[in-house]
Amino acid sequence: MITSLNASDQQFLNNLNRVADRMNRAQRQLSTGVKMARVSDDPDQVSTLLNARASLSVALQLHSNLGRVSAEVDAAEQGLQSSVQLFERARTLGAHGVTGTQTASARAVTGQEIGAIMEQLAGIAGTQVEGRYIFSGDTDRQVPYTIDLDLPSPVSAYLGAGSTRLVQHPNGTTFQVTHTAQEIFDSSTPGANVFATLSALRDGLLANDEDAIRTALDGMTTVGDHLNSELASYGSFQNSLRNALDFGQNLQLQLRTQIGSLEDADATEAILELNQGQVQQQAALTSRAQMPRTTLFDFLG
């Protein structure tokens, strides 16, 4: 484009446009509350802002995931508390049933109570949260056990799978938050199998076999310790989740603060910028108006 303006006039207009651009930007900040509404407002900070927004989006999703996992772990921990209480009730019933004054019919009634406790424990093993069997490992749509007290082996084999599930911490690490029903109730560790021990106790009571009852009772201390250890594990899982949630909330606050510093307008600064621009614009126009003008008549005479 060919311009008829001389260099001085062109420079004056360029400077005036720059002042006008600054005033317009300040006005936009005051009206929208946003400092970086377009790339041209601060090109050097665009990448930083986009990265901060992406990081915040990830942090929010992780927070949501952790909240859902917390609900599962809390339900599991409550189930294990109930399991410990039920097992201690079974131990008390067994100790009562082994006394020599107990009749066969009384022991049969106690055996039925042990069977009811086994059913309750199988129900706890089948705890669901949002449609997921939380103790079934990776096959969380499958109930971990079925139970039929009329069968010689009333509790089925474990129907779930191992658990490979790890939860992501907002700091980028991962950690475990679950054990399977097999690990908790059907352990392969010698003497730590809840269902096997209770089934043996029930069989001894129903058969009025005092020696079998005593043998089952002798193993209940180890099983009780195992259940309490599992309960402690879930307490540890809860602590890990609380720490992760706290870390995530702090991270979100930091990211929001960073985004705000890049994106949110400073009203005081914008007003000052607008006032300065108005003063500079008026001074430039006044100064330009006072400059001497040379015309054709100045060369005649």
pLDDT at 271: 55
Q: Beta 167-168 vs 128-129: how paired, if at all? A: unpaired
pLDDT at 32: 57
pLDDT at 229: 96
pLDDT at 142: 96
pLDDT at 159: 97
| CB neighbour list of residue 53: distance below 8 Å, 6 or more residues apart | 259
pLDDT at 227: 97
pLDDT at 192: 93
Q: Does residue 173 contact residue 167 with C-beta atoms inside 8 Å?
A: no
Q: At what angle do helices 46-97 and 194-206 cross, to 10 degrees?
A: 20
Q: At what angle do helices 210-218 and 46-97 cross, to 10 degrees?
A: 150
SS3 163: coil
What token pair was written down for 234? 């879930």
Looking up tokens 């126009």, which residue turns up? 285
What token pair was written down for 175? 């950690």
pLDDT at 149: 96
Is the pTM value of this prediction over 0.85?
Answer: no
- Alpha carbon distance 152, 134 (integer Å): 28
> Residues of the chain whose pLDDT is less than 50?
1, 39, 267, 270, 296, 299
Q: Does residue 178 contact residue 52 with C-beta atoms inside 8 Å?
A: no
- Identify the bridge partners of residue 175 per DSSP, sorted by sequence position: 167
Q: Does residue 256 contact residue 56 with C-beta atoms inside 8 Å?
A: yes
